[in-house]
Amino acid sequence: MAEAPWVLVGGLGFIGEHLAHRLRQLGLDVVVLARRRSIKKRGRLARRLEKAGVRLASSQRDFIGEEDIENLSPAVVYHLAGKASGSWRVQWEAHVGLAERVVRAATRVGARIVYVSSIAVASDAAKAPPGEVITEYDIPPGPEAAFETIHAETKAAGERVVSSSGGKWVIARPGLVYGPGEVHSEVKLLRTAAKLRVIPVSRLVPIVHVADVADVLSMAGHGGLDGMVIHLVSNYTLGDLAGQLCSGRCLRASVDKLLSLGRLAPRSSKLRLAWSLVRRKYRYRSRVLRAYSWRLGPV
């Protein structure tokens, strides 16, 4: 009898591609479940995944429903869908509405859920003096926090949906994810700046290499982290990444004060999200993953 597949909901993205490859390396049956429109829009990525032995499944409607997940009878469901900006409706659907459907389907088939959240939840929820190290156990329940962004508020709501499911679950909160094939605007800006020999530096924005994200999410799917909230943040920051990109002589300029303008930006914007990560000068660490050896890898 074939083993149950591991299903990536929202897997046609940066983290999804790397995670799918990692799981295939382990010999697992991997299915990326996406809307037909998303598969068509990201056809090149879809073909790369299929070439690597990843199966693609499309939703029956213009959204991923419970039956789409349940029909695959998965062993593990990864909730990878996420929006860093956008309207309340868009972010709520990606982070909460879909999470509710994932939970209902996973509960019926007995699947483990791995929900990819955001370190911004910890940034907003922490009630600690400026400059403190924030770990998983320092974070109060989401409803007690005043969230600076729609992104953090809806991600926290999604966390509550998953953690109250009564089944097997893991919640992972990554920082800024970068690596080969990177698409984030922040890293694109660093690349452009490096060519001009000017580097915008932030020692406060936490980063994590996508290979580490894929490794830890794989660990979460195999068990051993059930019932835990984990911080996927390395010992490096955006400033360290900037230094790697500009190996020669560059003019370095701190952007932390510039990011403070984010307090004037809409709650739906990426600028407001960036400001929420630097305003209290927190440093983020993981007690759960304290023995993990993080990398400052290539972009």
Q: What is the pLDDT along the chain (299 residues), one digit of tens a residue?
A: 358 999 999 899 999 999 999 999 999 999 999 998 889 899 999 999 999 999 999 987 888 999 999 999 999 999 999 999 999 999 999 999 999 999 999 999 999 999 999 999 999 998 899 999 999 988 866 666 789 999 999 999 999 999 999 999 999 999 999 988 766 777 777 778 777 787 777 788 899 999 999 999 999 999 989 999 999 999 998 888 877 877 667 787 777 777 888 889 999 999 999 899 989 999 999 999 999 999 998 77
Return the structure tokens found at 41.
């829009």
Handedness of CA 249, 254, 255, 261 (dihedral sign): negative
The residue to which tokens 């400001």 are assigned:
275
Domains and CATH numbers, the chain: 6-178+207-233 (3.40.50.720)
Q: Tell me how far apart the 2 most distant CA atoms of the chain are, in Å.
A: 60
Q: What gap in Å lies between CA 150 and CA 126, rounded to an integer?
A: 17
CB contact at 8 A, 95 and 70: no
Q: How many Cβ atoms are within 10 Å of 137's Cβ, its own excluded?
A: 8
Which DSSP symbol is given to 202? -
The residue to which tokens 């990606």 are assigned:
94
For residue 299, what pLDDT is reported? 78
Angle subtended by helix axes 238-245 and 185-195, to nearest 10: 40
For residue 2, what pLDDT is reported? 56
CB contact at 8 A, 176 and 190: no
Nearest one of 128, 120, 206 to 159, comparing CA atoms: 120
pTM: 0.94
Using only the alpha carbons of the chain, give its radius of gyration: 19
